[in-house]
Chain A
Amino acid sequence: MRFPFKTSYNQDIRLFRDRVDVFWYGLLAVAVLVLPLLMDEYYVGESTWVFIYGICGVSLMVLVGYTGLVSLGHAAFLGIGAYAHAFFIMHGAPWVVAVGLAVAITTACGLIVGLPALRMTGIYLAIATLAFSVIIQEVFSRWESVTHGFAGMKVDRPVIFGVAFADDRSFYYLCLFFLVIVLWLTRNLLRAPTGRAWIAIRDSEIAAQSMGVNLAIYKSMAFAYSAGVMGLAGALFAHKIAFLAPDIFNILLSIQFLLLVIVGGLGSLHGALFGAVFVALLPPLIAILRDSIPDSMAEFAAATGITPVASVGAAVGAFLAKPGVEAGIFGLILVLVILLEPLGMYGRWLKIKLFFSTFPMYKASTFKRQKSYMRSERLR
């Protein structure tokens, strides 16, 4: 186990704890920079989703994980960002201007939604954001002069200052760049008074208020910031998906974002990234398994002579190929994570790290959950 020896207050403020951290994060940076050069273009394209979902994750993490406000309608902000960006691009705005406007518009929408949300808590807020997203989705399909309704809207790959990001590799680096920027900005806020005020609102509104936090301002700020980041993600999303249709931005997508932050681990930026990796890579993983399990099982059966294995493999493959199975697998994983690991993948990661750094002295009870009675959340 490492104990960083602290000699100045700055050490608690820095982005990285010490040189060891810098080393590992540096290694990670090199890996994500070099990998696309070695990978097949298809996998580069799939990995780009990790970064886009990562930005979405950061957006929702600020709102849900840090400020404790639940939104069931974040897909609407993604959609607003995507449509606004595509609209401005189509009308000849330079890429950077279009992104800026898209972010500004979503931030404004976040503020508008955030204002009535100030008086609501918990379930009422969730349903209000849900209602908002249903309405926005309807707007997407009806406001044809801007969104082209159900006919959809084609979006080309970005051209920034004359540089085209046409192939998957260059777009990968563009998304990575924006993810890093968003992470840096969000981390800055979180280590400053604003981030602390958010955490305070999450844990005790009354105490936060008594310590001088203006609940209205900081809640709407969280909403606006979260929406703005989602808008940026939306702009990248539009390029990635290449074709915008209103029914993309439905409640299931909002739920998928919530799933992302929970599976990743609430209350940490690491969690948002872990969750993004999970959400982005599970569908291709299921596709790979679907195609490879029957074959490999059949091979195994042929080699060992145990024929039932082949039919089991075929059945598994057929099951995975049925429509709607993916949602069920997501659901199952969500249930298992909440039951077994409420801290998400990041929580598990911390446990594994502690296991190795304290080996062989690790105590499983370090993280034992306390038995608790039902705590009323009606009184907030």
Chain B
Amino acid sequence: MSFFTANNLSINFGGIKAVDGVSFDVEQGEVFTIIGPNGAGKTTIFNLVSRIYEPSGGKLSFAGRDITNVPPHLIAALGIARTFQNIELFEHATLLQNLLLARHAHKRSSFWSELLFLPSVRRLEIEHREAVEKAIDFLDLQQYRDSLIVNLPYGVRKVTELARALCTDPRLLLLDEPSSGLNVEETEDMAFWIQDIKNVLGITVLMVEHDMSLVSAVSDRVMALNYGRPIATGVPAEVQAHPEVIRAYLGG
């Protein structure tokens, strides 16, 4: 049994099969990337995995557990975290508050103890803060700690999303187009971080990405998708050279 498995996953939107019988598995410790032209159903797969969409067919399993029917707010507690393509940060909160919120899956204090702010709550808050500071150090976000997200540049927001996902202590990290909107240097930084996440933190990464240089730099395996169906899976070079993939991109 693989670490993460999607089996015959499907979803329809008003008759259109956005994802049509996709199966793949991700091994522990690898970077698995999904590529494909616009509208191929890549982000939809992410939304299915993080349970925002209800699949119309198929099964998802993670670490030996069937997660097809787990409600979306419990996904984080299982160890699956995600980022969003169009940045979904909490804009009118500080960066620190954003990251602390990511610790929500590990919340252990009750409403009543929080109401009175008992010493136990304070102790737990400091524990959360320590975990958050690790992510801040890892991604070099110290200088922005107390800034509101609305005041931060796009590149920093993108990194903040990554940091927020890391703060949930995930075992599987879903990155939805981590390089979109970033310039060349920022994309390079992103590539290093993804490698570090895999090698240093030992987190398995499932990624959707358009930037082929980033894909080939960090991915262990790649799956190409077109019209909601997988057309090729393998190491990056293999998939890139696959005639079907070339046809999908060039529209032959």
Contact = CB atoms under 8 A, between A and B. Distances in A.
Complex: A in contact with B (CB within 8 Å): yes
Interface of A: 9-10, 12-13, 185, 188-189, 191-194, 196-197, 199-200, 202-204, 206-215, 221, 267
Nearest to B88: A207
Contact of B111 (A202, A207, A212, A221): A221
A9 B129 contact: yes
B170 to A, nearest CB: 11
A203 B88 CA distance: 8
Contacts of B105: 211-212
Contacts of B77: 212
Contacts of A208: 90, 101
B8 interface: no
Contacts of A211: 76, 81, 101-102, 104-105, 164, 168
A279 B133 CA distance: 42
Given A10-B122, A207-B89, A213 B130 contact: no
A314 to B, nearest CB: 48
A192 B121 contact: yes
Contact of B52 (A193, A196, A204, A209): A209
Interface residues of B, number: 43
Given A9-B130, A193-B100, A267-B92, 10 more contacts: A185-B115, A185-B116, A200-B93, A202-B90, A203-B89, A204-B90, A210-B52, A211-B168, A212-B105, A212-B168
Interface string B23-65: 0000000000000000000000000001010000000000000
- Secondary structure dominating the interface of A: helix
Given A12-B129, A210-B82, A214-B73, A192 B89 contact: no
Contact of B81 (A12, A210, A215, A221): A210
Nearest to B52: A206
Contacts of B76: 210-212
Contacts, number: 109
Interface of B: 50, 52, 71-77, 81-82, 84, 88-93, 96-97, 100-105, 107, 109, 111, 114-117, 121-122, 125-126, 128-130, 133, 164, 168
B90 A203 contact: yes
Contacts of B82: 210
A204 B82 CA distance: 14
A191 B117 contact: yes
A12 B101 contact: no
Given A9-B129, A13-B126, A193-B109, A210 B90 contact: no
Nearest to B77: A212
B135 to A, nearest CB: 13
Contact of A194 (B88, B102, B111, B130): B111
Given A13-B122, A210-B72, A203 B114 contact: no
Best-buried of B114, B164, B168 by chain A (most CB within 10 Å)? B114
29 contacts: A9-B129, A9-B130, A10-B126, A13-B125, A188-B114, A188-B116, A191-B125, A192-B121, A193-B109, A194-B111, A196-B93, A196-B100, A196-B104, A197-B101, A199-B92, A200-B93, A200-B101, A200-B104, A203-B92, A203-B93, A206-B88, A210-B52, A210-B75, A210-B76, A211-B101, A211-B105, A213-B101, A214-B73, A215-B73
Contacts of B109: 192-193
A214 B71 CA distance: 9
Contacts of B164: 211
A139 B59 CA distance: 51
B150 to A, nearest CB: 8
Contacts of B133: 9
A210 B71 CA distance: 10
Contact of A199 (B50, B97, B128): B97
Best-buried of B76, B84, B115 by chain A (most CB within 10 Å)? B115
